[in-house]
Amino acid sequence: MRLLIIGALDAELGQAARIAQARGARIAQADGPAAALVRLRGEGADLVLCDLAHDIPWLIERLAAERIACPVVACGRDADAAAAVRAIQAGAKEFLPLPPEAELIAAMLQAVAGEDDGPVTRDPVMGALLARAEALARAEASVLVTGESGTGKEVMARFIHARSRRGRGPFVALNCAALPESLLESELFGHEKGAFSGAAASRKGKFEQADGGTLLLDEIGEMDPRLQAKLLRVIQEREVDRLGGTAPVKVDVRLLAATNRDLAAEVRAGRFREDLYFRLNVVALHIPPLRERPGDVAALAAHFARRFAAANGLPLRSLSPAAEARLLAHPWPGNVRELENTLHRAVLLADGAWIGPEAIELTPLPPGRAAEPGQAAAGAAPAAPPAASPVGAVSALVGRRMQEVERDLIIETLTHCLGNRTRAAEILGISIRTLRNKLHEYRAQGAPVPVAPGTGLLPGVGVGQGRHAAPQSGWDPGALRPLDPGTEARLQAARPSGDPV
């Protein structure tokens, strides 16, 4: 965990730095946002902790302009509530009250890291897999982690890194599906000032940021073939060429790759380079879906119940036998991420001494997918009523203004995606920047906009309650179920043609 602190490391901010360092974070410090921006361009960070005395809105604006994806947490005294609100409105992920609480800082670091103490498992299948992963961790070979979306591939990658000889070095992850080819190349290899329009300063890529540690390339199967060739050269030569650079830069990185695709089939189809596949697939680890390791369901559910109770300042409640039976009867098409979301809802809805079956709201199964045996007996949610026909959906739009239809379409899609902006933009066929601009307009108009996952603030929880609202881990867009045909038809019928901007 690389933590960059903006402000003087004395008094309460220094105390926060010492607590984070004791929890395993690597601390860097900058006197102000401008100096911090220089550090982030060159070294990167997993989290920025910025004193409210500094211009946090300016820093967040610059990070967005230079495509530096790093969450910013504002910190200050509770008396600075107005400044904290401005920071949150500008895009800060959370407010950390000073003097700091060790438990809150620990929860914040865990949320950013995407794990607590590593994989949670009781199933013998996963136990054997973790034993194999631990043995492989001590080697330097590349590892290809495969499995369905939401099975925990990044958690496995962090597990391997933590137990390797590089465990004290940086762990850097990049989602290859989240960026277009031109931006992905810059993110991977870095660029020099003026290399392209918008390159206001030199910046190290992910390979350089991971020097001495581990680089995870998530969703590697989505990478463009041209970039695959460049990646192959970096693996072979152990050096990168920055965009606009004049000389290669040596790097010492262990490469891990993850995908939910069958890369062997992608090679046969000509969409993935065979030589790169063999370079990445020195050792393969396949994570089975949750439905094939039922012994993990109860263990993970108890783990998530503890996490979300602590994160939301709620009493810890155990699962009742009936609630646990209902969880065990569900096939979990969204895997661990779906279970995580289900338990988060259950913790918020539960009332009494237990989390009962009435608090377990299961995601309806996709059309055509049969429930596992015993699911109906366990009290599964009733089937959703048939969706309205596309013709009827179009007729219902007649007489409405285009702006209203567009707004409802965007907010409904975002709600379906549990607030995940990237996934919603993909479904809508617009850029993430366009989506964010639209959401900013809707907020200004007073429209309810779903909260983004990982913001750490639940609807109705204000900054003054931040002491009890530790950041939440983000939801994986891969854990979301596909739209059913009826909903898909209604969305397509209502969607305006082309990008709305």
Tell me what pLDDT residue 486 has: 53
Q: Cα dist. 124→128, 152, 391 in Å? A: 6, 16, 51
Q: Where are the domains of the chain?
A: 2-113, 124-286, 293-359, 390-453+468-494
- SS3 for 2? strand
- pLDDT (average), residues 221-232: 91
Q: Do domains 2-113 and 124-286 have the same CATH topology?
A: yes
Please name which of 408, 368, 362, 416 lies closest in space to residue 500, comparing C-alpha atoms: 408
* Greatest Cα pair distance in the chain: 67
How many Å apart are CA 183 and CA 384, to the nearest integer? 41
At residue 161, does pLDDT exceed 90? yes
pLDDT confidence tier of residue 471, bands split at 50, 70 and 90: very low
Tell me what pLDDT residue 200 has: 67
The tokens describing 227, both together, are: 């970039």
Residue type, 347: V
> In this prediction, what percent of the chain has a pLDDT beyond 90?
38
Q: What angle do CA 45, 419, 450 make, to 5 degrees?
A: 120
How many Å apart are CA 229 and CA 227, to the nearest integer? 5
Tell me what pLDDT residue 70 has: 85
> In this prediction, what percent of the chain has a pLDDT beyond 70?
80
Q: Which fold has domain 124-286?
A: Rossmann fold (3.40.50)
Give the list of residues 6+ apart from residue 295 with CB closer than 8 angstroms, or none: 121, 122, 123, 124, 125, 126
Please name the helix (run of DSSP H) or strand (run of DSSP E) that holds residue 485, with its range, or none. Answer: helix 485-494
pLDDT confidence tier of residue 462, bands split at 50, 70 and 90: very low
- pLDDT (average), residues 289-306: 93
The correct CATH number of 293-359 out of 1.10.8.60, 3.40.50.11260, 3.20.20.80, 2.40.50.100 is 1.10.8.60
Give the list of residues 6+ apart from residue 440 with CB closer than 8 angstroms, or none: none
Q: Cα dist. 318→302, 314, 379 in Å? A: 7, 12, 19
Pairing state of beta strands 318-319 and 354-355? parallel
- pLDDT (average), residues 52-71: 86
- Beta carbons of 410 and 424 less than 8 angstroms apart: yes
At residue 165, does pLDDT exceed 80? yes
- pLDDT (average), residues 43-50: 86
At residue 399, does pLDDT exceed 70? no
**Poorest-confidence range of 6-10, 36-40, 385-389?**
385-389
Tell me what pLDDT residue 154 has: 92
The correct CATH number of 2-113 out of 3.40.50.2300, 3.30.1490.190, 2.60.40.10, 3.30.70.660 is 3.40.50.2300
The tokens describing 58, both together, are: 């300016």
At residue 366, does pLDDT exceed 70? no
* Sign of the Cα pseudo-torsion (428, 430, 433, 438, in order): negative
Q: What angle do CA 286, 292, 298 make, to 5 degrees?
A: 115
355: phi then psi, degrees, rounded to nearest 5: -90, 105
At residue 485, does pLDDT exceed 70? no
Tell me what pLDDT residue 413 has: 82
Is the model's pTM score more than 0.85?
no
Give the list of residues 6+ apart from residue 52 with CB closer than 8 angstroms, or none: 74, 75, 76, 80, 83, 84, 87
Tell me what pLDDT residue 457 has: 39
Tell me what pLDDT residue 124 has: 92
How many Å apart are CA 427 and CA 150, to the nearest integer? 19
Tell me what pLDDT residue 449 has: 81
Tell me what pLDDT residue 484 has: 52
- Beta carbons of 76 and 83 less than 8 angstroms apart: yes
Q: In the predicted model, what is the mean pLDDT of the chain?
A: 79
Tell me what pLDDT residue 389 has: 39
Tell me the pLDDT tens digit for each residue of 301-343. 999 999 888 878 888 999 999 999 999 999 999 999 999 999 9
Tell me the pLDDT tens digit for each residue of 96-123. 888 877 777 777 776 665 544 578 899 9
Q: What angle do CA 231, 234, 236 make, to 5 degrees?
A: 110
